[in-house]
Amino acid sequence: MFTGQVHAREFAGGTYLVKMFIDLVQKAQTDKGLKELLRHYKYVAIPIINVDVREALINDPASWTSSSGLWKAYVNGTDGNRNFPGVLWGQVSKGNRLKWNIRLTPGGDNYPGKTAGSCPETQAVMKWLYHYIIVDKARCLLDMHQQGSIIYAGKEWSTRAQEKTAEELRKKVMSFLNRGNSSGRTYKIAEDEPEYGLNGTGSTITDYAVSLASGAKFSVAMGFSAYTDGEREYMLMELGDLDKAKFPINAPNPEFSTLTIEIGLGQKYLGNSASTRKLIATEYKKYHFDALLESLPELLP
């Protein structure tokens, strides 16, 4: 599974995913091995989640610039990658100390929304995630962003098996992207969520996806995802380590892992100017994004 450009100014994610699929399908016309591979693996994508502000940034970037630069958020000033009702939504509850990347008012970035899952875009992506993670038992989700040539993997609240799979996948994808680039900039690792609880960042697409895969369900009482033993619902903090929880966590998709790939480096890679388009086109080939889809089955742990 692939998602891209939930953050409007991060054009590379959306552009790459469309191009990656075009490259894959074109190559499969003449490549028998690849055609065969596509019989066994299903690829699904939402290349551009934040379509409205993407469009706005193409037509009128000056009106969609705030003190922190070009907009990331949806048109209503909610940051789509803070709006998912995953297990960490509790950190934005009233009274908790917020991290720098959560803000309390709508704007160009980091506002998590009036309520968890409040945006129609979030709700559409939630249905899509549920179908492929729970019904189709997808193997992985790669969410494409743009900040600092890093790859996030693993969530503290996933089961140990899921965490291990994500870590292995990251290692392989990272050396795939870095192949031949050892002398220049390389993609590096970053910890997704160093500790969980009330000071986490939470509420991203991958947070929610892992919540689903590890067995959390939406709690009407709490307004975000929680774990249940059938009798009552537990917040993540009550359980601590999922592998040592008081009741068995039956992860419905124990193989599932997520990666967040941050493409490029720095402000000059953001937006849709002619110079940015040039930079991301070079990045695409240099770091082998053109071959990532066809190689992914081999990279899966």
Summarize as ranges the residues that interact with Zn ion (CB under 5 A). Answer: 7, 10, 145
10 vs 193 by CB, closer to Zn ion:
10
225 vs 260 by CB, closer to Zn ion:
260
204 vs 253 by CB, closer to Zn ion:
204
Min dist. Cβ of residue 54 to Zn ion (A) = 13
Min dist. Cβ of residue 297 to Zn ion (A) = 26
Ramachandran region, residue 210 (left: φ > 0; alpha: ψ -120 to 50; beta: rest): alpha
| 125 vs 300: CA distance, rounded Å | 23
145 vs 170 by CB, closer to Zn ion:
145
Min dist. Cβ of residue 146 to Zn ion (A) = 6
Work out whether strand 150-153 and strand 188-191 pair parallel, antiparallel, or are unpaired.
parallel
113 vs 215 by CB, closer to Zn ion:
113
Give yes or no for a contact between 203 and 89, defined as CB atoms under 8 angstroms apart.
Answer: yes
Burial of 113 (0-12, 13-18, 19+ CB in 10 A): buried
| 244 vs 137: CA distance, rounded Å | 24
Min dist. Cβ of residue 89 to Zn ion (A) = 18
Min dist. Cβ of residue 25 to Zn ion (A) = 27
Cα–Cα distance list, 50 to 41, 143, 182, 290 (Å): 27, 13, 34, 23
Min dist. Cβ of residue 276 to Zn ion (A) = 15
Phi–psi pair at 143, nearest 5 degrees: -105, 125
In the numeric block, which tokens belong to residue 212?
Answer: 């689903």
| 192 vs 201: CA distance, rounded Å | 9
155 vs 242 by CB, closer to Zn ion:
155
